[in-house]
Amino acid sequence: MGAPVDAIPVAIPISVHRPEDPAGGNRIAVGRLAGPVGIADPFERVLTIREQVRVARHEPAVDIFNTLSSVLARLPGSVLMQFSGTTSQNDLQASNVPGIPWDTYVAGAKVERMFPFGPLPGCAMMATMITHNDIGCIGLNSDGAAITDLESFADCLVAGFGEVLALATDDDAPPRVLRRVV
């Protein structure tokens, strides 16, 4: 929108599930990144994000809220919010949901795509990805006050994904298709 931005605050889920945890459990922690939107080269941008994710995963205190959860559960919500922070500190919150890795049917029709839409937890944008067989779909939920030009935003997203997908050099890779569904 005409104002340069070097980075945006991003929250991502980090699995802290351990082999000794009960089966079917899902233990996650929140990793915070400085989304490097100011890096023009998509390869450098991906490398920067990769390094930030690596650092977040190995942060010694990454699992602190899960470790202290039994104590924290006894605190009043107003006290807990004072030191836990809120998602409004993030411009983007991302999530991923494992999909079904086999053919699935609903009323006899084959499911080809699943579009996830996570709740908007007080941040400008919630991006949720789900994979189904070899197809990944992303659902976006945005705050209308934060993203006022949806058409331009959608164009930028498609262009950004196109830049990253163009980095693939494997000639044997299946064709990649970007579809914009509104």
pLDDT at 64 over 70: no
Name the pLDDT band for 135 (thresholds 50, 70, 90): confident
| Digit-coded pLDDT (tens) for 5-40 | 899 999 888 877 777 777 766 777 788 889 999 999
The reported pTM is 0.73
Show me where the domains of the chain are located: 8-100+108-165
Question: 105: how many CB neighbours lie within 10 A of its CB?
Answer: 8
Task: Answer whether residue 156 shows pLDDT above 60.
Answer: yes
Residue 88 is predicted with a pLDDT of 62
- Percent of the chain at pLDDT > 70 equals 76
Mean pLDDT of 147-170: 87
Q: What is the pLDDT of residue 103?
A: 92
Q: How far apart are CA 36 and CA 38, in angstroms?
A: 5
Q: How many CB atoms lie within 10 A of CB 130?
A: 20
Give the model's pLDDT for residue 16. 76
The mean pLDDT value for 162-182 works out to 67
The whole-angstrom separation of Cα 88 and Cα 132 is 30
CA gap 156, 127 in Å, rounded: 15
Mean pLDDT of the chain: 80
